[in-house]
Chains A and B, each alone.
Chain A
Amino acid sequence: DQQVKQNSPSLSVQEGRISILNCDYTNSMFDYFLWYKKYPAEGPTFLISISSIKDKNEDGRFTVFLNKSAKHLSLHIVPSQPGDSAVYFCAASSGNTGKLIFGQGTTLQVKP
């Protein structure tokens, strides 16, 4: 039961360009969405979140867009830096207190 899907297992971009990571969800009860970054042998690190009452949230180089009608969200990183190379997980929850349902992750490689 894949309620949160990241259909691209990997993405490679050139340094300075935009990285766009995508995520789809099926459960219309989800109202809070988060993006996490993860390095090997470390726990997920919170990047940015968005509530379902918004369609965009921006924090520095990171912007998350939410399209509720399409049940789709995306993370934009611009400009991409080599240090951004990691696995990125999309996660969703019902309410901002509660379990997170994670996608499978997308491995981003930013080439110098």
Chain B
Amino acid sequence: EPEVTQTPSHQVTQMGQEVILRCVPISNHLYFYWYRQILGQKVEFLVSFYNNEISEKSEIFDDQFSVERPDGSNFTLKIRSTKLEDSAMYFCAGQGPGGGYTFGSGTRLTVV
């Protein structure tokens, strides 16, 4: 069964450093999303991406965040200057023509 692949599985970074989280969606997916889950809290929407542009973003998704799909396959989330409170599990998700949502297994980001 097709999967959404996320790398790395765990990223530790110094506060203030830039991180790039990577996702390879399923090939026929049209809509792409990033969500995050801070430990012990619920899964929160960050941003949706369709037709090579952001279609919606949450309040969390401020100027420190950006998304790209540079080569038509990889879908990346960049955090320019990480803060301690950015520590969370980050999930990529894709949605195909039928509307089915598939999540990746996540990247655990730890900011120290």
User: Which A residues fall within an 8 A CB radius of B?
Assistant: 32, 34, 36, 41-46, 89, 91, 96-105
Q: How large is the interface on B (under 10, 10 to 19, 20 to 34, 35 or more residues)?
A: 20 to 34
Contact A43 B104 (CB under 8 A): yes
List residues of chain B with CB under 8 Å of any chain A CB: 4, 6, 31, 33, 35, 41-45, 48, 56, 58, 91, 93, 95, 99-106, 108
Interchain CB contact under 8 A, A99 and B48: yes
Assess A43 versus B105: contact at CB under 8 Å? Given A98-B48, A102-B44, A104-B42.
yes
A-B contact pairs, 20 of them (CB 8 A): A32-B99, A34-B101, A42-B105, A43-B6, A43-B93, A43-B104, A44-B91, A44-B103, A46-B103, A89-B42, A91-B43, A96-B99, A99-B33, A99-B48, A99-B58, A100-B33, A100-B45, A102-B43, A103-B42, A104-B42
Write out the residue numbers on chain A whose beta carbons fall within 8 Å of the beta carbon of B35.
100
CB-based contact B45/A99 at 8 Å: yes
Looking at chain B's contact residues, is the secondary structure mostly helix, strand, loop, or mixed? strand
B residues in contact with A46, CB < 8 Å: 100-103
Known: A43-B106, A100-B101. 17 other contacts (CB 8 A): A32-B99, A36-B103, A43-B93, A43-B103, A43-B105, A44-B43, A45-B103, A46-B100, A46-B101, A46-B103, A91-B43, A96-B99, A97-B31, A98-B56, A99-B58, A100-B33, A100-B35
For A105, list chain B residues within 8 Å (CB): 42
In the docked arrangement, what's the CA distance between A34 and B99, Å?
12
Most buried by A among B35, B43, B93, B106: B43
